[in-house]
């Protein structure tokens, strides 16, 4: 099991638990404000953009080139940006904190 915390743009803290699937799917199933997941997770819509807590970057790893190309043109991009449909849930993510980029 991994506990993952989402901080929404209205500063709401939501902690959810799961052991598989994508982080985007977890957020959408639980109605996390600002994560829409329009394309269902194939890296085409960028409606699942989050900022990873800086010290947690090693948990999530880096974005692939295709994901980076998508993020590059997103208005709220920074060095901690990820499209969370591209993050698979595993034990290693336990304690992860993500801020919805909105």
Partner 1 sequence: MKKSTMADPFAQVRKEKGFATVSDQDDPVTMMLRLKDVRKCAHNAKTFSSEDIPGRIVVPSEVNIRTTRQIPFEVDPPKHKGFRGLLDPWFKRPLENEYKQKLHSIVDKLVTENLAGNSVEVINEFSLVLQSRALTLLLNTPFEDSIQWISWGTHVFRSEGDALDGDKAQVLYDYLDEKLDQALANPTDDLFSVLLGAEVDGKKMSKEEAKGVLILTFAGGRDTVINAVSNSIAYLADHPESLKRLRDEPEIRGKAIEEFIRYFSPLTHMGRVVKEDTQVCEHAAKADSRISLCWASANRDETVFENPNEIVLDRKMNPHVGFGFSHHNCLGATHARQILSTLIDVLCDKVGSIDLLETEDNIEEWDDFHRKVGYEKLVVKFNPK
Region from 12-20, 38-46, 52-60, 87-95 binding partner 1, contact rule CB under 8 A? 38-46
Distance CA 66, CA 98 (A): 21
Choose between 57 and 66: whose C-beta lies nearer to partner 1: 66
- Does 21 bind partner 1 (CB under 8 A)? Our answer is no
Q: Out of 4, 24, 52, 63, point to the residue binding ligand FES (CB under 6 A).
A: 24
Q: What are phi and psi of 48, to 5 degrees?
A: -135, 30
Tell me the closest approach of the beta carbon of residue 43 to ligand FES, in angstroms: 5
Tell which residue, 38, 23, 45, has the closest CA to residue 98. Answer: 23
């Amino acid at each position: 099991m991994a506990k993952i915390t989402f901080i929404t743009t209205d500063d709401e803290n939501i902690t959810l638990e799961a052991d598989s699937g994508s982080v985007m799917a977890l957020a959408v199933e639980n109605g996390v404000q600002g994560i829409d997941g329009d394309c269902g997770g194939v890296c085409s819509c960028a409606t699942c953009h989050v900022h990873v807590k800086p010290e947690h970057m090693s948990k999530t790893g880096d974005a692939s080139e295709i994901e980076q190309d998508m993020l590059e043109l997103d208005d709220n991009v920074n060095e901690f940006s990820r499209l969370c449909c591209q993050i698979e849930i595993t034990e290693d993510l336990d304690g992860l904190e993500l801020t919805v980029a909105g």
